[in-house]
Chain A
Amino acid sequence: MLERLRYRLRYISGTDIALWIVAALLLTMIVVGSYNILTEGRYTGRQWLDFVISGLAQGSIYALIALGYTMVYGILFMINFAHGEVFMSGPFTAYFLAEYLKQKGMFQSHPLLALLLVMLLSMLVSTVIAVSLERLAYRPLRGAPRLVPLITAIGASFFLQYTFRGLYTPGFKAYPEVEPLKGTWVFFPNSLHLEIERMLIAVFVSSVLLLILLYAFVQFTKTGRAIRAVAEDQQAAALMGVDVDHTISVTFAVGGAAAGAAGVFYALMFRQVNYFMGFFPGLKAFTAAVLGGIGNLPGAMLGGLFLGVFESVGPSLFLEGLGVPAAYQLKDAIAFTMLVLFLIFRPTGILGERLAKRA
């Protein structure tokens, strides 16, 4: 026993010790902060629940975007950094349809139908952008070293941002309100009296439904099987008569459609669109994909929900108790600290066994 300990101690480097100290410090901060805020009783249980619920809604949007990152990584081993712009292109374009429908009075007379139309257009645009991106920017670089498509993706990201800025002007545009989704719903009015914003419920429920649908698509259809086969071994898949190029296009299309839907949810929640709106959600969703274990589909979904809740609850729970002023503004810092910590301590993510095998 002692022998083993001594053996292990010999192989500890300065970096390890530094990392342990960082981890211990963070852990202490989290524990002390949480303890302070909970004993202080600044927030009621209901308020914590509100944090969690809005976190879940936000997180389900991250999960939808993260799907695109993780599927593309699974099949091509590249991070599609332009995915945030795929996410932006849909709702930004669909804004004009929404505006038109609003003027025609459709958002007043048939709000849900109008919303569905906006959503379909958004998904269509995002899909087209994602597929063209693959066809024009990534496919010619298929055999190149992995750094090349990565840099191309960053370039494509800027290209799309500024193209849409040029096309649709740089200002913020306000999405119309959907009447039936305003206000709150009350659950268990007699006992718990749980009052939740309708928008959050709608976003969460439809995102989760979409996630389930997409997961079923990948698990149970012929095309989904082809995607998984190509992700495992492109050559062997080609030998089975699977059209590899087409399958990769489909992967981008599915990721694009999910991002387009997520974009509309995002625009509805924050009521505005802008050419830059894809940047932060894109990075967050990438973080979510890494948290869940990149390349892993359920992982991305889980990572998205986890990140959403963590960054919604985190500032109040961990930081306010330490006396940090305006803690809520630090939620992005919390999210990206998570990314760094995961990359250091568990680069395979929560469910990421596959990456570990490949590395």
Chain B
Amino acid sequence: MALLECRKLTKRFGGLVAVNRVDLVVEPQSIHSVIGPNGAGKTTLFNCITGFYRADEGEILFQGEPIHWLSPTHIARKGIARTYQNIRLFGNISVLENVLIGMHIHLKSGLIAPLLNLKSFIEEEKEAYKRAMELLEYLDIAEWAFFKARNLPYGQQRRLEIARALALQPKLLLLDEPTAGMNPKETEETTQLIKRLRDELGITILLIEHDMRVVMNISDVVTVLDYGEKISEGTPDQVRSDPRVIEAYLGHGAASGLKPVASAGTVAKGG
């Protein structure tokens, strides 16, 4: 069974159709990339999946269960976490606490418990603290634990955002341009990190990325969006040679000027 499935998902903003009847199937334990030119509807798609936008039509199934009518909070609790294109950390809070907030749903002590049962509350906080530190170490930012998040260097902030998302213990992690603004070395590290998340932690990853080297390097499946519509889907090699994709990126007619690499018919299209 697919982990995440979007069926004929449509989102309109006034007259603009940002996402148009998109079908998307994300298999468990895969790295699935969504690419497309600016304004293709990638981030809108993410916002629909995480519940910030309500899709106008179509449905979203997570582990076979419809989630398109749930609030972002409840979708997060189902096990979907995301990071943002422009980093959105809790800037005035320490790095460690950012991760602890990510653990929010896994901590039990609520409003009254700290007063009634101080001991178990302290135990739980200690345990959470330990796990948060482990996560920070896993992402190699443990040395920054007690800094305010906004004082971190850019690359570390990106890592922290991933750490915070991991604290949710998600089954599906949505990464919105995780390598944006990174130099080649940092990009390479992040690429390895994404691979490790899948291989070591078994997290399924849905990725928006502009850096084609990253996409082609680690993706199992690539979906291409243009003007809100899915124009191509397949393995990196299949997508790379699809004339529609080349057209979408380079402009209409561009594909005809290129050497024929493969016939359009070989590209798996549609859901």
Interface residues of A (CB under 8 A from B): 217, 220-223, 225-226, 228-229, 232-233, 235-244, 250, 354
B71 contacts A240, C-beta separation under 8 Å: no
Nearest 7 CB-CB pairs, A to B? Answer: A241-B105, A241-B76, A238-B72, A232-B90, A236-B88, A222-B107, A229-B101
Residue B82 lies at the interface, judged by CB distance under 8 Å to chain A = yes
Determine which of B81, B91, B102, B109 lies in contact with A221 in the assembled complex, contact meaning CB atoms within 8 Å.
B109
Residues of B contacting A241 in the complex (Cβ-Cβ under 8 angstroms): 73, 76-77, 104-105, 168
Interface residues of B (CB under 8 A from A): 50, 52, 71-73, 76-77, 81-82, 84, 88-93, 97, 100-102, 104-105, 107, 109-111, 114, 121, 125, 164, 167-168
A250 contacts B111, C-beta separation under 8 Å: yes
Residues of B contacting A228 in the complex (Cβ-Cβ under 8 angstroms): 90, 92-93, 97
Cα separation A130 to B142 with both chains bound (whole Å): 40
Determine which of B52, B92, B114, B168 lies in contact with A240 in the assembled complex, contact meaning CB atoms within 8 Å.
B168
Residues of A contacting B125 in the complex (Cβ-Cβ under 8 angstroms): 220
Q: Which residue of B lies closest to A221 (CB)?
A: B114
Residues of B contacting A217 in the complex (Cβ-Cβ under 8 angstroms): 114
A244 contacts B73, C-beta separation under 8 Å: yes
With a 10 A CB-CB cut-off, give which of A217, A223, A226, A233 has the most chain B CB atoms: A223
Residues of A contacting B50 in the complex (Cβ-Cβ under 8 angstroms): 239
A352 to chain B, nearest CB (A): 13
- Taking A222-B104, A232-B93, A235-B52 as contacts, is the C-beta distance between A242 and B109 under 8 angstroms? no
19 contacts between A and B (CB under 8 A): A220-B125, A222-B109, A223-B111, A225-B100, A226-B101, A228-B92, A229-B90, A232-B92, A235-B52, A237-B101, A238-B72, A238-B73, A239-B50, A239-B76, A239-B81, A240-B102, A240-B105, A241-B104, A241-B105
How many contacting A-B pairs (Cβ < 8 A)? Answer: 72
Residues of B contacting A237 in the complex (Cβ-Cβ under 8 angstroms): 90, 101
Residues of A contacting B97 in the complex (Cβ-Cβ under 8 angstroms): 225, 228
A233 contacts B168, C-beta separation under 8 Å: no
B141 to chain A, nearest CB (A): 18
B93 contacts A240, C-beta separation under 8 Å: no
Cα separation A228 to B91 with both chains bound (whole Å): 11
Contacts A226-B101, A228-B92 supplied; 4 other A-B pairs, CB < 8 Å: A232-B91, A233-B90, A240-B168, A242-B101
A226 to chain B, nearest CB (A): 6
Q: Which residue of B lies closest to A235 (CB)?
A: B52
Residues of A contacting B101 in the complex (Cβ-Cβ under 8 angstroms): 225-226, 229, 237, 240, 242
A227 to chain B, nearest CB (A): 10
With a 10 A CB-CB cut-off, give which of A241, A242, A354 has the most chain B CB atoms: A241
A242 contacts B73, C-beta separation under 8 Å: yes
Residues of B contacting A236 in the complex (Cβ-Cβ under 8 angstroms): 84, 88-90
B170 to chain A, nearest CB (A): 10
With a 10 A CB-CB cut-off, give which of A226, A229, A244, A250 has the most chain B CB atoms: A229
Q: Which residue of A lies closest to B128 (CB)?
A: A222
Residues of A contacting B89 in the complex (Cβ-Cβ under 8 angstroms): 236
Cα separation A152 to B168 with both chains bound (whole Å): 38
Determine which of A220, A229, A244 lies in contact with B93 in the assembled complex, contact meaning CB atoms within 8 Å.
A229
With a 10 A CB-CB cut-off, give which of B72, B97, B121, B167 has the most chain A CB atoms: B72
A198 to chain B, nearest CB (A): 27
Cα separation A236 to B164 with both chains bound (whole Å): 10
A38 to chain B, nearest CB (A): 42
With a 10 A CB-CB cut-off, give which of A221, A236, A250 has the most chain B CB atoms: A236
Q: Which residue of A lies closest to B71 (CB)?
A: A238
Q: Which residue of B lies closest to A219 (CB)?
A: B97
Residues of A contacting B110 in the complex (Cβ-Cβ under 8 angstroms): 222-223
Cα separation A221 to B167 with both chains bound (whole Å): 17
- Taking A221-B114, A225-B97 as contacts, is the C-beta distance between A242 and B104 under 8 angstroms? yes
Residues of B contacting A242 in the complex (Cβ-Cβ under 8 angstroms): 73, 101, 104
Q: Which residue of B lies closest to A226 (CB)?
A: B104
Residues of A contacting B81 in the complex (Cβ-Cβ under 8 angstroms): 239
A240 contacts B76, C-beta separation under 8 Å: yes
